[in-house]
């Protein structure tokens, strides 16, 4: 069972602020993922500069295996000092972990990180370290498949102060909410968005503080092979389809012609569905041995729309897809379930599209835009043009 790390985050800007005073930075280097959530003093431009500097410096240094004491000393000596308060201040949480779930967590003045194991929340054991008079907490990590680390800025535990709640949303309430709402199949991004969405509700949609939630999940790898469009050389159909079917993981076929070719290769037929769960998305089909069969360009266009929203760190719509139309089923598989996506793009001109404003360049652009958004989500993406 090959494991990998998946991360995601969501940010709410303080009301009337263009910039967020929190910043999340992450680097994947070899087996290790380093993620830093920094929260700059105050809000607006100044906080944004402090958190950006902190997250960039820490992420770069920690990912290069530089000792945490040296990293923190560099931060303290690098940040510009506030003339009014006489301090240069940015809190931070740092996760540095390999694919097997082993590594370190460092925390300075952010709310304490939460461990979700078996959909139940718990605390990490922490030991304090004194670095230039600041207390930085260190935790040795040894996570297992399905575990999630959630880190947050203090906007989370301040949510609702003086509005919906007298004292804000305290840590026990945050954990109780996660206990009742996290499901085992949720991605790191979906969990972060779930928690940030509730904070936004407690703030009545006008956050009194910058609020950021980031999560890292240890999970099993899942590859999805997606074929769209028939290959140019018809005589090599069987060769291309054999290669598409040979890869590990789930198989998806997009497009009517592609479906017919794949069904013929598998010595079966395409069965059409007559359900229209979404009037804008053509119905799906069924081929024995294929996990999902959809129409081509219209479904991909809708999928690209969904990917734009999913990849936007300020979008709070739920990140799980429950609708049963082709685009939603594909979104759930590619955005939530997959860790890597392999596109097999046929460049043959589709006779069915003649006279319509659909050409091969449009299909290729759709695939490339979708691949770019999948990379933003942290997926490994490979595209083969046939």
98, 32 Cβ separation under 8 angstroms: yes
Residues 299 and 311 in one domain: yes
Q: What is the pLDDT of residue 354?
A: 56
Residue 241 confidence (pLDDT) above 90: yes
Quick one: residue 189, left, alpha or beta (phi over 0 = left, psi -120 to 50 = alpha)? alpha
Q: What is the pLDDT of residues 4-13, one digit of tens each?
A: 999 999 999 9
- Which pLDDT belongs to residue 275? 87
- Compute and round to an integer the Cα radius of gyration of the chain: 23
The contacts of residue 236 (CB under 8 Å, 6+ apart) are: 386
- 234 lies in the same domain as 334: yes
pLDDT at 359: 60
pLDDT band at 350 (very low <50, low <70, confident <90, very high): low
Same structural domain, 193 and 243: no
Which of these three, 192, 220, 248, is where a domain ends?
220
- For 322, other C-beta atoms within 10 Å of its C-beta total 7
Strand arrangement of the beta sheet that strand 148-152 belongs to: 3-12, 211-220, 148-152, 114-117, 120-122
Looking at the fold, whether 267 and 199 belong to one and the same domain comes out as no
Backbone angles phi, psi at 224, to 5 degrees: -120, 125
164 pLDDT more than 80? no
Residue 44 forms beta bridges with which residues? none
Q: Based on the fold, state whether residues 18 and 139 are members of the same structural domain.
A: yes
Q: Compute the average pLDDT of residues 344-368.
A: 73
Same domain, 115 and 256: no
C-alpha–C-alpha distance, residues 247 and 112, integer Å: 42
If you average pLDDT over every residue of the chain, what do you get?
92
Would the pLDDT of 120 be above 80? yes
Over 70: is that where the pLDDT of 351 sits? no
Over residues 40-84, the pLDDT tens digits come to 988 899 899 999 999 999 999 999 999 999 998 998 888 877 667
Q: Which helix (H) or strand (E) holds 28?
A: strand 22-29
Q: Nearest 5 degrees, angle CA 122-CA 128-CA 133? A: 140
Q: Output the CA–CA distances (angstroms, integers) from residue 295 to 26, 85, 260, 307, in the order listed.
A: 36, 60, 11, 17
Last residue of a domain, one of 220, 235, 256: 220
Same domain assignment for residues 135 and 208 = yes
Say if residue 353's pLDDT is above 60: no
Examine the domain organization and report whether 263 and 207 are in the same domain. no
Angle at CA of residue 47, ends 44 and 52, nearest 5°:
115
Q: Is 64 exposed, middle or buried (0-12, 13-18, 19+ CB in 10 A)?
A: exposed
d(CA 304, CA 302): 5
* pTM as predicted: 0.92
On whether both 233 and 365 belong to a single domain, the answer is yes
Taking the C-alpha atoms of residue 180 and residue 384, their distance in angstroms, rounded to an integer, is 42
pLDDT band at 355 (very low <50, low <70, confident <90, very high): low
> Whole-angstrom Cα distance, residue 257 to residue 252?
14
Number of domain units in the chain: 2
Q: Are residue 33 and residue 45 in the same domain, yes or no? A: yes
| Count of CA atoms in the C-beta half-sphere (13 A) of 134 | 25
End position of a domain, from candidates 220, 253, 280: 220
Two tokens, residue 226: 């997606």
What does the block give as tokens for 201? 């509700």
Same domain, 189 and 233: no
**Where in the sequence is the domain holding 289, given as residue range(s)?**
223-385
User: DSSP string of 298-319?
Assistant: HHHHHHHHHHHHHH-TT--S-S
For residue 287, name the pLDDT band (cuts at 50, 70, 90): very high
Cα dist from 53 to 27, 29, 38, whole Å: 15, 20, 9
Same domain for 230 and 208: no
What are the structure tokens assigned to 158, written together?
A: 């301040």
Q: Is 23 helix (H, G, I), strand (E, B) or coil?
A: strand
**Among residues of the chain, what percentage have pLDDT more than 70?**
94
Question: What CATH number does residue 172 fall under?
Answer: 3.60.40.10
Residue-level pLDDT at 77: 83
pLDDT at 234: 85
Scan for tokens 């050389």, then name that residue: 233
């Amino acid at each position: 069972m090959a494991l990998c790390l998946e991360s995601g985050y969501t940010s709410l800007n303080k009301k009337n602020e263009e910039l967020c005073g929190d910043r999340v930075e992450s680097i994947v280097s070899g087996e290790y993922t380093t993620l830093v959530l920094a929260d700059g003093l105050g809000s607006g431009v100044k906080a944004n500069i402090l958190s950006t500097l902190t997250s960039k410096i820490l992420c770069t240094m920690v990912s290069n295996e530089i000792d945490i004491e040296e990293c923190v000393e560099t931060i303290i000596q690098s940040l510009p000092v506030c003339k009014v308060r006489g301090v240069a201040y940015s809190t931070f949480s740092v996760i540095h972990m390999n694919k097997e779930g082993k590594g370190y967590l460092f925390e300075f003045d952010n709310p304490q990180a939460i461990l979700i194991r078996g959909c139940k929340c718990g605390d990490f054991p922490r030991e304090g370290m004194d670095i230039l008079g600041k207390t930085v907490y260190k935790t040795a990590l040894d996570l297992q498949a399905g575990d999630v680390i959630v880190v947050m800025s203090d906007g989370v535990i301040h949510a609702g102060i003086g509005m919906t709640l007298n004292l804000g949303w305290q840590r026990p309430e945050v954990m109780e909410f996660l206990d009742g709402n996290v499901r085992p199949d949720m991605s790191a991004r979906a969990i972060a968005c779930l928690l940030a969405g509730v904070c936004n509700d407690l703030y009545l949609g006008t956050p009194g503080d910058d609020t950021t939630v980031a999560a890292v999940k240890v999970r099993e790898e899942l590859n999805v092979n997606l074929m769209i469009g028939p290959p140019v050389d018809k005589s090599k159909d069987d060769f291309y389809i054999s290669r598409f079917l040979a890869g590990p993981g789930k198989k998806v076929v997009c497009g009517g012609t592609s479906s017919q070719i794949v069904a013929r290769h598998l010595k079966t037929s395409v069965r059409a569905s007559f359900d229209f769960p979404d009037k804008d998305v053509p119905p799906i089909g069924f081929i024995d041995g294929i996990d999902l069969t959809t129409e081509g360009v219209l479904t991909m266009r809708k999928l690209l729309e969904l990917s734009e929203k999913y990849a936007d760190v300020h979008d709070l719509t739920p990140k799980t897809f429950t609708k049963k139309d082709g685009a939603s089923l594909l979104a759930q598989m590619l955005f939530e379930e997959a860790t890597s996506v392999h596109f097999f793009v046929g460049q043959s001109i589709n006779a069915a599209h003649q006279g319509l404003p659909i050409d091969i360049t449009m299909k290729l652009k759709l695939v490339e835009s979708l691949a770019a958004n999948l990379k933003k989500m942290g997926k490994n993406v490979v595209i083969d043009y046939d």
